[in-house]
Structure 1
Amino acid sequence: MTSIDLDKVLDKAWAGKSLPEILAAPVGALKGISDRDGELLGPVRRIFPAGV
């Protein structure tokens, strides 16, 4: 089985959040992507689309 340490890919503000919260998070929740960068990505509003 594969695992990932989400704290390595998420901003500190998202550390400790539940998986459903992370899946619904905006792209800006990813480490290294600012809120402004997330806005520029346009239709990519969340890390994972609804229903994943």
Structure 2
Amino acid sequence: MPQMMPINCNFSFIFFIMIFMIFNIMNYFIFNYKNINYNNNINKKSMKNNLFWKW
């Protein structure tokens, strides 16, 4: 029904934002987990210089 279109657009926009935020949060935790595993035996000064992203 056409009169319901703004609610549907708003809901889909909010849904897209939530999916995007979940993706960013999971990417952040994957990045942290890899950094913790990689920099286990390295001092903290080199941790700032060696940022290895998954791509």
Q: Which has the larger radius of gyration?
A: 2
Q: By the TM > 0.5 criterion, same fold?
A: no
TM-score, normalised relative to structure 1: 0.29
Q: Which structure has greater helix proportion?
A: 2
TM-score, normalised relative to structure 2: 0.28
